[in-house]
Amino acid sequence: MMSLHPATQLFGQVVFIGLGLIGGSMAKRLRYELPQTRILACDKPEVLQLALEEGLIDEGLSSPTQAEVYAENTLVVLATHLNQSYAVMADICKAAPTDLQHPLQMMDLGSTKSTICRLAEQLSVQYDLELDFVGGHPMAGREISGFQNSRSDLFLDKLFMLTPCATTTEGFLNKLVQWLEDLKVRPHVMDVTLHDKTMSLVSHFPQFYAIALGNLLHRNDPETLLHYLGAGLDDQLRLMISPHNMWQDIFLDNKTHLESALEDFITILSEMKAQLAQSQSLQAWFDKSHDVHHIYQRLR
């Protein structure tokens, strides 16, 4: 008998709830690195048809609560927008067989973690369910969405945050770490609250800033301005077309930390505005910014 790759025995079956940019890219990474894994997915019929035609998935599901989701040695990956993930998680837990003899193993791929980890803890108690849940957050993405834009290399060698919660067992967390390493991504375990505060500064605020900059340009004749844009604007322009429905959920879900980041930024802007004509003060601002870039270069 042909032996399975060791990592396929960690999760013999993986069910993706959502095959958009993130879920689709994760599924393609899995199919590329661990081709013997059985991959199932739940999404719109036209998306499932494309995934089946590509040989990406073995079976499409019409509902996230079908029996296959509760099979032993299965990992359920929630890869929808945040609010949808909360609803789907609740539906899956509510529909779980009362005689389930093994843990329900689940991970999400969202950008914030506090809410979904609290929900996992609540659902585990509410339905008396052995829910082994870990928050997951791949630190990669694109400004465009949809399965058609997913890529097998999107997460290659990228950081993948894992945030355990009260329902997480050490065994499941260790399995996830090993599984992700086999997918050639870089898992990093992090506290839930620290994750959301960190993301507010390094991910959510930059997106917020890009939208604010877009509105500033919009007020000042962009048809003329963009004839003269410099290279420094390119990354911001890329972020300006990020999907509203996805980012609105993220901004609202991480509102407290994002507001704190914005307050700090407003303070910095006010101080810089007041010191605009003072060369020594400007030098200090540049020095601090250069320090950050040096740290970035060292950590690369």
CA distances from 60 to 14, 66, 106, 108, 164 (A): 12, 11, 18, 19, 29
Give dist(CA 235, CA 213) in Å, integer: 12
Tell me if 65 sits within 8 A of 92, measured CB to CB. yes
The alpha carbon of 24 is separated from its chain's Cα centroid by a whole number of angstroms, namely 12
For 92: left if phi > 0, alpha if psi spans -120 to 50, otherwise beta; the answer is alpha
Per-residue tokens: 66: 């079908």
CATH of 6-190, one of 3.40.50.720, 3.90.950.20, 3.40.50.970, 3.60.10.10: 3.40.50.720
Distance between CA atoms of 300 and 298, rounded to whole angstroms? 6
Residue 287: both structure tokens together? 């020095």
Of 160, 93, 99, 79, the C-alpha closest to 132 is 93
CATH no., domain 195-299: 1.10.3660.10
What is the pLDDT at residue 278?
Answer: 84
Determine the pLDDT at residue 8: 45
pTM: 0.90
- The Cα 270–Cα 81 span in angstroms is 35
Cα–Cα separations (whole angstroms), residue 8 to 36, 39, 60: 7, 11, 20
d(CA 177, CA 194): 19
Tell me the C-alpha distance between 10 and 170, whole Å. 14
Task: Compute the residue count for the chain.
Answer: 300
Q: How far apart are alpha carbons 30 and 154 in whole angstroms?
A: 12
CA–CA gap between residue 259 and residue 203 (Å, rounded): 14
**In a 10 Å sphere around its CB, with 0-12 CB exposed, 13-18 middle and 19+ buried, how is residue 112 labelled?**
buried
**Residue-wise pLDDT tens for the chain (300 aa)?**
333 444 447 999 999 999 999 999 999 999 999 999 999 999 999 999 999 999 999 999 999 999 999 999 999 999 999 999 999 999 999 999 999 999 999 999 999 999 999 999 999 999 999 999 999 999 988 777 899 999 999 999 999 999 999 999 999 999 999 999 999 999 999 999 999 999 999 999 999 999 999 999 999 999 999 999 888 888 899 999 988 988 999 999 999 999 999 999 999 999 999 998 887 888 999 999 999 999 999 988
- For 213, the token pair is 């900059």
Q: What is the pLDDT of residue 246?
A: 87
For 18, left (φ over 0), alpha (ψ -120 to 50), or beta?
Answer: left
Report how far residue 235's alpha carbon sits from residue 216's, in angstroms, rounded to the nearest whole number: 16
Residue 144 to residue 126: CA distance in whole angstroms? 37
Domain ranges of the chain: 6-190, 195-299
